[in-house]
Amino acid sequence: MSAPTLSVVRLVAPNPGPLTGPGTNTFVVGDPTGCIVIDPGCADAAHLDAIDLATQALGGIQAIVVTHAHPDHIGGAAELAERTGAPVLALHRGPSGVSFAAHEMADDDEIMAGGQSLIVLATPGHRFDHLCLWHEASGILFAGDLVAGSGTVVIIPPEGDMRAYLASLARLQALPLTRIWPGHGAAIDDPQARLADYIAHRLQREAQVIDALRSAGGPQTVEELVPVVYADTDPRMYSWAAKSLLAHLLKLEAEGRVRRLTPDDAGPWANL
């Protein structure tokens, strides 16, 4: 008799929005001998009922794993843990991480989902406590908010860091991936192409920041740079674009390529 293969049940939390798309993906992952839940999403009773039902069909829940501590990913975790008695696992515990997590994991830890082994990958950048789970046997990656089913993700300093984010994307490029399940949106079946596109997109934005500062002929604030660098973005999203723009500027500052003229992150900023 052949060993069971990985089963993946995707449930979409009822929390759609500008940053969550159709809603946060919750995954029930394992085989007939047991499973884990990845990112329970919001504390919606019907959503938690659906998670509970899916875990029962896969041998029962062994653990709840959160990819990072943003509210749309951990909102239902505490209540699901109370319902099921399953421990909540996170990369960081305490006030700056998941305060109610029962266990703190580390890079390269192994998590068992029934008979399936998943590897914890510390992938900071979107948030300092971000992790992915990799099922090496199938090449499937559960990517949280490192990538999205469509579009890109926002990097918000100080919890987000553009240098760390690009390094995490590069780390994933070294893996023999077959599919990425993102935290929002549909599965990505061309993982290496998507990762390459993500890195190219961020580097293009970085070049646009440099060009915008050069073309302005003088120092610019973040507010002044946003409509130039993000001319292809809906102006209603400029407040969020400004956060990723700041992340780019902080990366460039750390690399000695731009400088701020005041202690204020908002600027003005100038090329070196």
Residue 267 is predicted with a pLDDT of 87
Amino acid at 24: T
Write the pLDDT tens digit of every residue in 256-268: 999 999 999 998 9
Q: Which of helix, strand or coil describes residue 63? A: strand
Mean pLDDT value across residues 79-99: 92
Residue whose C-alpha is closest to residue 219's, from 159, 257, 259: 259
Q: Is the pLDDT of residue 64 over 80?
A: yes
- Tell me the CATH class for 198-271: mainly alpha
Residue 3 is predicted with a pLDDT of 64
Amino acid at 107: D
Where does the pLDDT of residue 217 fall: very low under 50, low under 70, confident under 90, or very high at 90 and above? confident
CA distance 6 to 92: 27
Residue whose C-alpha is closest to residue 106's, from 88, 93, 121: 121
Enumerate the CATH 1.10.10.10 domain ranges in the chain, comma separated.
198-271
> Among 38-42, 91-95, 159-163, 193-197, which stretch is predicted with the lowest mean pLDDT?
91-95
CATH match of 7-189 with 3.60.15.10: yes
Residue 92 is predicted with a pLDDT of 93
Radius of gyration in angstroms for the set of CA atoms belonging to the chain, rounded to a whole number: 20
- Beta bridge partners of residue 120, listed in sequence order: 133
Mean pLDDT value across residues 203-222: 94
Phi, psi dihedral angles at 245 (to 5 degrees): -60, -45
Q: Is the pLDDT of residue 2 over 80?
A: no
pTM reported for the whole predicted model: 0.94
Neighbouring CB atoms inside 10 A of 59's CB total 18
Mean pLDDT value across residues 80-94: 94
Q: Is the pLDDT of residue 94 over 90?
A: no
Length, in residues, of the chain = 272
CA distance 266 to 245: 10
Assess contact for 88 and 64: CB atoms under 8 A: yes
Enumerate the CATH 3.60.15.10 domain ranges in the chain, comma separated.
7-189
Q: Is the pLDDT of residue 1 over 60?
A: no
Write the pLDDT tens digit of every residue in 109-146: 999 999 999 999 999 999 999 999 999 999 999 999 99
CA distance 35 to 14: 22
CA distance 205 to 200: 9
Neighbouring CB atoms inside 10 A of 199's CB total 15
Q: Is the pLDDT of residue 206 over 70?
A: yes
Neighbouring CB atoms inside 10 A of 249's CB total 25
Residue 230 is predicted with a pLDDT of 95
Give me 91's structure tokens. 């990369």
